[in-house]
Copies of this chain bind each other. A is one copy, B any other.
Amino acid sequence: MPTAPQAAAPILSLPSRSQRAGSAKTSPVRDLLALTARPEVISFAGGLPAPELFDVEGIRAAFDAVLDSPGVLQYSTSEGDPGLRDAVARRYSSDGLPTAASDLIVTTGSQQGLGLISTTLVDPGDTILVEEPCYLAALQTFALAGARVVGVPYVGDDLDLDALDRLAAHHGPKFFYTVPTFQNPTGRTHDVEARRTIAAIAQRRGFRIVEDEPYRQLRYSGDALPSLAAFAPGHVISLGSFSKVIAPGLRIGWIRTTADIRSSITIAKQAADLHTSTIDQAAAAHYLASGRGELTLSRIREAYAARRDAMLEMLPSALPDGSSWNRPDGGMFVWVRLPEGRDAASALPAALAHDVAFVPGTSFFSGIPDERTLRLSFTTYSPARIREGLSRLGATWGTGR
């Protein structure tokens, strides 16, 4: 084995990191995950799907079936597995949004989709509009692209559409990033009229919409809503993911792109990682074709609906008087606002002392945070455990509940 020679030359200081690296100061999701590490803690802080609902046997069978030839171990195309893209396209089409497999580019989770779209559309200094509050890791990706991120506020549970119009006119954004259905962190959904208006504003002001839909299929009540892409087909890029409906460890998502930027996004994908795991894509396609995906999704919906209901039933006794919260029709999260004078971050140490955790809402804001807000996830515990956790939470507020 060769041995390491000694370096003798004088050493100059190294070049600094990029400005954009400096702008992504912290890694908030990681900090949050650290809260959940103690096993005795009932953590409503996570954003994870419930692992006991993963169809381990079905997925193992799918890997076993596709690993019968070397083709699934070889390099493949940047756009992704044709069978997988076809299956996703058929689902969009049957949901009322005509889609061809060629409209889709498979990504390494929908998180990668955010990066590819940023690479394709955003130069440093460009503006991106986001919902305020917004999905954390999107804010990070946009910061690393050097974007100027401007939050569009809510009025109560509804996006302030006048503010969207005004901010778009003022900033000339490259796009508006939205999680229109069961948003992370708020669980909020834009109703059909809001969708129609958002699309119309995008068309009138000449910006794109990036609609991120990881939770769309996790609906437990109410009717399905049309995709934003149905209202403004040329203006909307949609992201989807199997992370919440099959398993996140597969890291498979997709971009439903518009024709004008398809080749640019494909080049960005190639530069990013050449392509997504050939094996994982083939196994996912096989799994969907087996029909087990629909069964698993029904099981997930049923379990999460019961968990949501357990949380909503218990919240009145678990939160200080004067708190407010929403009642989402799906997804993974409930958004809470504490009464005047309360601060969620200040309440967290007491909660952790009672072995229960939540996420203070402040981390999700791109601008001035609402310190009274917090996010609760209801996905990973049984209804009984949720009740126990919320009972602990109820004990943390001390006097003045």
Q: Which residue of B lies closest to A251 (CB)?
A: B277
| A173: B residues at CB distance < 8 A | 15
- Contact check, B2 vs A226: say whether CB atoms are below 8 A apart: yes
Looking across the interface, which residue of chain B has its beta carbon closest to that of A97?
A: B4
The answer, yes or no, to whether A96 is at the interface (CB within 8 Å) is yes
Q: List 26 A-B contacts (CB under 8 A).
A: A2-B95, A2-B223, A5-B226, A7-B233, A9-B200, A11-B234, A12-B204, A12-B205, A12-B206, A17-B121, A18-B121, A24-B268, A27-B78, A27-B263, A51-B73, A52-B70, A56-B68, A73-B249, A74-B249, A75-B248, A75-B249, A109-B274, A141-B271, A144-B267, A251-B275, A273-B273
A residues lining the B interface (CB < 8 Å): 1-5, 7-15, 17-21, 24, 26-27, 29-30, 48-49, 51-52, 54, 56, 59-60, 63-64, 67-78, 94-97, 107-109, 111-112, 114-115, 119-124, 126, 137, 140-141, 144, 146, 172-175, 192, 196, 199-200, 203-208, 223-226, 230-235, 243, 247-251, 260-261, 263-264, 266-268, 270-280
CB distance from A177 to the nearest CB of B (A): 14
Interchain CB contact under 8 A, A266 and B27? yes
- Known interface pairs A7-B200, A208-B15. Does A249 touch B76 (Cβ–Cβ under 8 Å)? yes
- Contact yes or no, A250 B279, CB < 8 A: yes
Query: Are the CB atoms of B74 and A230 closer together than 8 Å?
Result: no
Q: Is the CB of A4 within 8 A of B248?
A: no
Q: Which B residues lie within 8 Å of A12 (CB)? A: 203-206
User: Which has the most chain B C-beta neighbours within 10 Å: A17, A94, A275, A276?
Assistant: A17
Chain B residues whose CB sits within 8 angstroms of the CB of A30 once the complex forms: 77-78, 270
